[in-house]
């Protein structure tokens, strides 16, 4: 390792931004396992059944070589039906899928207008794209409209692409999807919606916040499988020509070993769970509402209205210290610092999942209120 690497790590440590891997301990307030499916009996049973019928663990190659498995195709067929899209394509992860979308689909001469708080995976894809990329103000459909209008006015003649999340991962706020759809229609633009934190949690049968837009010719959606669905992978839902283009041009698809067929079977089982039983979603909704009320009453923090609740601290070191105080009391909650969030907005990212009950959540809020007071003092 070079001296420059040492200096960079030292600088991160001085600013309270040095990241380390930590073992799981304490009650889960950090994961994206919103419905508590990751270790549930139903998925365990589904995996055992898949193994018993001979489903392989590894794919052995890319989908375009010998890695294509009947379980991949069965999942894609079922996902297309479940979400109401024309077709689906399964990737090994949501990050890979998002990167593939933006590095592959927009072409030279096109414009990608992206929400300024969009996922890092979209940024990585845009860096690899030949299209121009410009930011729009967060959750501001008028800003998206203005960026496209200005681009057209300056001579832009290619395809416009609008990139947003339906539910944002650090603030838990929702995108104005219907307004964005109107902007897309007005400019003949493609609307790409990352449903990572909404899949399984919102919409009829857990179809997400953009379920009413699925199947439109100018809509592409990404549904990750490693959050509320409790497994792993990413599903791109799109018109069939888009799927075919990704298969032929997306390097992250062509050159990657195919996802585990066993995981594809597990994702199908997860889709069946969220489609056939609303109980978990209802329980989570009740817990989120109760958490918001108690958080407001005991700390004065405004509820986000979703299962993702930011606790804004400000400084990096203070956020790390607050997280450590809560971990010491048995609550696994993590500090999020720049560049993941804007400068001066380091925070605790509190996620409400069915891995904690109402009493445990109440205990956490009591501990949070006390720890914040001690940190200020």
**What DSSP designation does 143 have?**
H
Q: What is the greatest pairwise CA distance in the chain?
A: 62
Cα three-residue angle 123-245-61, rounded to 5 degrees: 85
Of 110, 145, 165, 316, which one is the catalytic site residue? Answer: 165
Does 197 participate in catalysis according to the annotation? yes
Does 315 participate in catalysis according to the annotation? no
Cα three-residue angle 198-199-202, rounded to 5 degrees: 60
CA atoms of 106 and 113, how far apart (whole Å): 11
Of 119, 181, 187, 223, which one is the catalytic site residue? Answer: 119
CB atoms near residue 24 (< 10 Å): 8
Q: How far does Cα 250 stand from its chain's mean position?
A: 20
Contact 346, 321 (CB under 8 A): no
Contacts of 325 (CB under 8 A, 6+ apart): 367, 371, 374, 375
CB atoms near residue 156 (< 10 Å): 16
Of 28, 76, 194, 195, which one is the catalytic site residue? Answer: 194
Does 32 participate in catalysis according to the annotation? yes
Cα three-residue angle 251-218-234, rounded to 5 degrees: 40
Does 119 participate in catalysis according to the annotation? yes
Of 32, 218, 304, 306, which one is the catalytic site residue? Answer: 32
Of 218, 227, 260, 304, which one is the catalytic site residue? Answer: 227
CA atoms of 340 and 92, how far apart (whole Å): 23
Q: Which H helix or E strand runs over 286?
A: helix 279-299
Of 169, 221, 304, 306, which one is the catalytic site residue? Answer: 169
Does 194 participate in catalysis according to the annotation? yes
Of 82, 187, 197, 327, which one is the catalytic site residue? Answer: 197
Catalytic residue numbers read 32, 119, 165, 169, 194, 197, 227
């Amino acid at each position: 390792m070079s001296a420059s690497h040492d200096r960079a790590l030292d600088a991160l440590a001085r600013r309270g931004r040095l990241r380390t891997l930590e073992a799981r301990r304490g009650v889960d307030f950090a994961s994206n396992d919103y419905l508590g499916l990751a270790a549930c009996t139903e998925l365990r049973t589904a995996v055992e059944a898949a193994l018993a019928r001979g489903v392989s663990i590894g794919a052995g190659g890319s989908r375009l070589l010998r890695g294509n498995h009947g379980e991949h195709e069965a999942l894609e067929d079922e996902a297309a039906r479940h979400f109401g899209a024309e077709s689906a394509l399964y990737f090994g992860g949501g990050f890979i899928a998002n990167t593939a979308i933006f590095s592959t689909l927009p072409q030279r001469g096109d414009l990608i207008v992206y929400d300024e708080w969009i996922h890092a995976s979209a940024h990585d894809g845009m860096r690899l794209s030949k299209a121009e990329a410009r930011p729009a103000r967060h959750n501001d459909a008028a800003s998206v409209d203005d960026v496209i209008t200005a681009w057209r006015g300056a001579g832009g003649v290619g395809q416009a692409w609008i990139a947003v999340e339906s539910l944002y991962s650090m603030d838990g706020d929702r995108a104005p999807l219907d307004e964005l759809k109107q902007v897309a229609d007005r400019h003949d633009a493609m609307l790409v919606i990352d449903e990572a934190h909404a899949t399984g949690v919102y919409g009829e049968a857990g179809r997400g916040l953009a379920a009413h837009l699925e199947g439109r010719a100018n809509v592409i959606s990404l549904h990750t499988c490693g959050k509320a669905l409790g497994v792993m992978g990413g599903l791109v839902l799109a018109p069939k020509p888009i799927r075919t283009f990704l298969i032929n041009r997306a390097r992250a698809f062509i050159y990657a070993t195919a996802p585990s067929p066993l995981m594809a079977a597990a994702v199908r089982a997860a889709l069946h769970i969220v489609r056939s039983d609303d109980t978990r979603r209802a329980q989570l909704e009740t817990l989120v509402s109760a958490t918001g009320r108690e958080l407001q009453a005991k700390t004065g923090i405004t509820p986000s209205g979703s299962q993702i609740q930011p606790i804004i601290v400000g400084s990096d070191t203070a956020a790390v210290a607050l997280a450590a105080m809560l971990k010491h009391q048995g609550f696994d909650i993590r500090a999020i610092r720049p560049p993941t969030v804007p400068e001066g907005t380091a925070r605790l990212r509190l996620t409400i999942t069915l891995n904690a009950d109402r009493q445990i959540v109440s205990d956490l809020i009591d501990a949070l209120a006390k720890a914040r007071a001690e940190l200020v003092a």
